[in-house]
Amino acid sequence: MKTRCLQLLALTLVAALTFAVRARAQVQTPPPAPRPSATTATGNAENGKKLFTSVGCYQCHGREAQGSTATGPRLGPRPIAFAALSKYVRAPTGQMPPYTSKVISDAELADIYAFLQARPQPPALESIQLLK
Amino acid sequence: MAKNPSVDRRDFLKSAAVTGAAALIGGTGAAGNAAAQQTGPAGSGTAPTLPREADPSGDVDVLTTDRPGGDFMVDVIKTLNIEYVAANPGSSFRGIHECIVNYGGNKAPEFITCCHEESSVALAHGYYKIEGKPMAVLCHGTVGLQHASMGIYNAYCDRVPVYILAGNTIDATMRRPGVEWDHSVQDAAAMVRDYTKWDDLPASLPHFAESAVRAYKIAMTPPMMPVLVVIDGGLQEDPISAEVKGRLRIPRLTLTSPPQGDSAAVAEAARLLASAENPVIVADRAARTAAGLKLLIELAETLQAPVVDQGGRMNFPSRHPLNHTDGGRALIANADVVLGLELTDFWGTVDAFRDSLVRSSRPITKPGTKLISITAGDLFVKGNYQDFQRYPEVDLAIAADAEATLPALIDAVKRQVNADRRRVLQERGGKLADAHHKALDRSRADAAYAWDASPISTARLSAELWAQIKNEDWSLVSEMGSVSRWPMRLWTFDKYYQFIGGSGGAGVGYGAPASVGAALANKKYGRLSVSIQNDGDFMYAPGVWWTAAHHQIPLLAVMHNNRAYHQEVMHLQRMAGRHNRGITRASIGTTIESPNIDYAKVAQGLGVHAEGPISDPKDLGPAIKRAVEIVKRGEPALVDVITQPR
């Protein structure tokens, strides 16, 4: 058990995804900026959209995968490499719950990945009067 | 009840008849006499205290009195300069209720009608956050306190004084059969004693006066907390006897000076901070007043040190270049000295905790980092409820009020900083200012994602609201964690009253009544009170919106309607993931759908102007603008917005 604790302790050092555990606002390390895909997966974005909602990804990452400083980082429109995403989803090192292949198949994960890739780019900042 | 061993309440009233009702002289009668009550006994009313044997006929009832004990209680309360008393009416305090509205003229305190005692307390909680002094709450000592208990717990955790008066009927032989027995209790305060600072059960009116003043003083001494005085029904309703009248006086209130840190410890803190290469100031409930905010700015600028504002109070301006709340965790990880000011959770500030199948934790600070704590929380701790959090291993623990200690700390730091050191600090400040501006740019860029999405993003909601209020004298009277702190990231907060912090105990149901209470306090200053209202919170006690309408409390509420108890959805997801059972059913018991609640209709039914639900972001700005106009007329208004989860 002690070894496992130490392993988990070490894993938390590289935690990237966050999960709010308290109602009150906590100061969080900003999530890492998404990197361009190094590996792509062929998936069905439409089905990925449904899965993104039904399996609850949107609860922490937003319905458009835009992320939140309180709960989970932005995932799209330029997600991290599929292999890295898949690895993290199966065995997250932060506060995110694990999603095993029993819960989400590789094919479903590929669909979610396609949905993330299909997210539209945000409008140019200069075009948004309210954010100037 | 006023006690004379040989005279019970009924016999006393009969005996009073012997000498005639004329002997029951009215008091000075009036609401406007508060100043006079400061230094002397209230009123001149009197009543004879004849033994029961003196009742010759037994057939003459005294049916009235011009000077009940409740009048004196009102005199006492007036000396405390309490503006409002919030209550859902209850028979155990009917005596003082009547005295407040008639004898007291329903002014200072003015009766605020609430639909639930939890709302009464949370309303007083929010009021304090703006006004800086307690509001009174009246409730039954039994069912009222039971309803109020969660609100009291929130205020206790948030170190907020609430002045609670609870009715009770002590003398069993005087209780009306039936409900009055259900509403009587031996020790009313027992239920909330674990999360109130002090309580008493006065046995006489002179005792009430002393306890009432003492309670106020205790509540207002840091760490501030709710207090409770149980008021017997007989004391409220019975005439003031001649014997008691001679002993009536109202003690003078002298508030305690907040405790300042030990001078040697403060000097050591200053030495550590001034010589540190990467000091970080973390503030939670540091600024009790507007002066606290200014002092924190002065300390940060003297040190050119970043401030991480945990948001328990309005501690630090959002646009100050030394505000590094976003990214604060990384700064703490790199710090050589961390100064914690009134932190709820110092351990959680400097440690990471993983809520996984095997729970684990680790320090995030570097080895050797010096931790300095200044908190009045070290001066008063109770054992049962565990809001004191995990034990922090700090290097310097100063048991004192942070705001009161800041002037001495600033002076001590200034003495440590010579011209050479000041140049080094200015250089550090320049780098921090650059980082602050980059963080602001990042926030704006982040806000653009999902800008046109429906449901509406919380960034868009915050930006649309800001556009409508930024030129007003506004005050955000809600917390903002559930909308990812977007207001603090996008708006300019630079005044103390522009933010009221959180609930303290994270008891849901605080938000709506606290915002109404804060708006009540803002009303006389002409400020535009705005809240971002969570849907789950709204439904705990929506009757408070009727209170806002009834008392014409101007408040703009913009609903963050994500149709879920979102925090709990995520917890269920976590459990389902951990148990490897799939996450598709995590919505059961955690969402507020089927049917969707029409909050605008609910609010309209309670007399509040309301619009929505709004799901198209293009419609949001105009709706808020219309609502602002209503609020500027002195009424509450609500805009229901269908939103993203966070």
State residue B1's pLDDT score.
Answer: 38
Q: Which residues of A touch B308 (CB under 8 A)?
A: 27
Torsion of CA B293, B298, B304, B306, to 10 degrees: -10
Query: Strands B279-283, B528-534: parallel, antiparallel or unpaired by DSSP?
Result: unpaired
Give which of A21, A68, A99 to mutate to test B binding, by max B Cβ within 10 Å: A68
Q: Which residues of B touch A126 (CB under 8 A)?
A: none
Q: Do A62 and B582 lie within an 8 Å CB cutoff?
A: no
- Closest chain A residue to B444 measured between Cα atoms? A131
Work out the minimum CA distance from B445 to partner chain A, whole angstroms: 7
In a domain, B106, yes or no: yes
Helices A82-90 + A106-117 axis angle, to 10: 130
Residue in A24, A30, A55 closest to B481 by CB: A24
In a domain, A87, yes or no: yes
Which residue type does B35 have?
A: A
B200/B228 same-domain check: yes
B109/B187 same-domain check: yes
Among all chains, which residue has been given the structure tokens 């409930």? B285
Core vs surface per residue B186-225: b (16+ CB within 10 A) or e? eebbebbeebbbbbbbbebbbbbbbbbbbbbbbbbbbbbb
State residue A40's pLDDT score.
Answer: 56
B112/B183 same-domain check: yes
Please tell me the distance from the alpha carbon of residue B287 to that of residue B404, in angstroms, as a whole number: 10
In a domain, B415, yes or no: yes
In a domain, A56, yes or no: yes
In a domain, A11, yes or no: no
State residue B36's pLDDT score.
Answer: 37
What are the mean pLDDT values of chain B's consecutive 10-residue runs (646 residues total)? 41 40 35 38 41 53 93 98 98 98 98 98 98 98 98 98 98 96 97 98 98 98 98 98 96 98 98 98 98 98 98 98 96 98 98 94 97 97 96 98 98 97 98 97 97 98 98 97 97 98 96 98 98 97 97 98 94 93 91 97 98 98 98 98 97
Give which of A14, A27, A52, A57 to mutate to test B binding, by max B Cβ within 10 Å: A27
DSSP string computed for A70-100: TTB----SSPPPHHHHHHHHHS-SSSSPP--
Q: How confident is the model at residue A95 (pLDDT cuts 50, 70, 90)?
A: confident
Q: Which two tokens stand for residue B53?
A: 């044997």
In a domain, A48, yes or no: yes
In a domain, A111, yes or no: yes
Which CATH number goes with the domain that contains A89?
A: 1.10.760.10
Asked if residue B107 lies in contact with residue B77, where contact means CB atoms within 8 angstroms, the answer is no
B610/B529 same-domain check: yes
B566/B487 same-domain check: yes
List B337's β-bridge partners, or say none.
B279, B370
Domain carrying residue B178? 67-239
In a domain, A53, yes or no: yes
B464/B495 same-domain check: yes
Q: Do B362 and A9 lie within an 8 Å CB cutoff?
A: yes
In a domain, B444, yes or no: no
Which CATH number goes with the domain that contains B118?
A: 3.40.50.970
Asked if residue B606 lies in contact with residue B637, where contact means CB atoms within 8 angstroms, the answer is no
Asked if residue B531 lies in contact with residue B612, where contact means CB atoms within 8 angstroms, the answer is no
- Counting the structural domains of chain B, the total is 3
Q: Do A66 and B453 lie within an 8 Å CB cutoff?
A: yes
In a domain, B204, yes or no: yes
B425/B466 same-domain check: no
B542/B432 same-domain check: no
Domain carrying residue A98? 43-122
In a domain, B43, yes or no: no
Which residue type does B429 have?
A: G
Asked if A32 reaches chain B (Cβ–Cβ under 8 Å), the answer is no
State residue B43's pLDDT score.
Answer: 41
Asked if residue A60 lies in contact with residue A71, where contact means CB atoms within 8 angstroms, the answer is yes
Separation of CA B514 from chain center: 7
Backbone phi and psi for residue B370, each to the nearest 5 degrees, phi listed first:
-85, 130
Core vs surface per residue B57-69: b (16+ CB within 10 A) or e? eeeeebeebbbbb
Q: Which two tokens stand for residue B403?
A: 């705001």
E strands, B459-601, are 474-476, 528-534, 555-561
Work out the minimum CA distance from B249 to partner chain A, whole angstroms: 45
Please tell me the distance from the alpha carbon of residue B486 to that of residue B497, in angstroms, as a whole number: 18
- Closest chain A residue to B350 measured between Cα atoms? A27
In a domain, A88, yes or no: yes
In a domain, A35, yes or no: no
Phi-psi region of B128 (alpha: psi -120 to 50; beta: other; left: phi over 0): alpha
In a domain, B593, yes or no: yes
Q: Which residues have C-beta within 8 Å of that of residue B253, sequence separation ≥ 6?
A: B79, B80, B213, B216, B217
Asked if A62 reaches chain B (Cβ–Cβ under 8 Å), the answer is yes
B133/B183 same-domain check: yes
Which CATH number goes with the domain that contains B406?
A: 3.40.50.1220
In a domain, B585, yes or no: yes
10 Å CB burial of residue A4 (0-12, 13-18, 19+) is: exposed
State residue B33's pLDDT score.
Answer: 41
B273/B228 same-domain check: no
Residue in A4, A59, A95 closest to B569 by CB: A59
In a domain, B256, yes or no: no
DSSP string computed for B372-434: EEEEGGGG---SSS-TT-SPP--SEEEES-HHHHHHHHHHHHHHH--HHHHHHHHHHHHHHHH
Q: Which residues of B touch A55 (CB under 8 A)?
A: 582-584
Count of CB pairs separated by less than 8 Å, A with B: 175
Q: How confident is the model at residue A41 (pLDDT cuts 50, 70, 90)?
A: low
In chain B, what are the helix, strand and coil shares in percent, each to the nearest 5?
Answer: 45, 15, 40
Mean pLDDT (chain A, rounded): 77
Neighbours of B426 (CB within 10 A): 10
Q: Do B584 and A55 lie within an 8 Å CB cutoff?
A: yes
B277/B142 same-domain check: no
Asked if A81 reaches chain B (Cβ–Cβ under 8 Å), the answer is no
- Counting the structural domains of chain A, the total is 1
Q: Which of B194, B179, B96 is closest to B136 using CA atoms?
A: B96
Q: Which of B510, B452, B517, B464 is closest to B490 using CA atoms?
A: B464
Cis peptide, bond prior to residue B595, ω within 30 of zero: yes
Residue in A19, A63, A125 closest to B574 by CB: A19
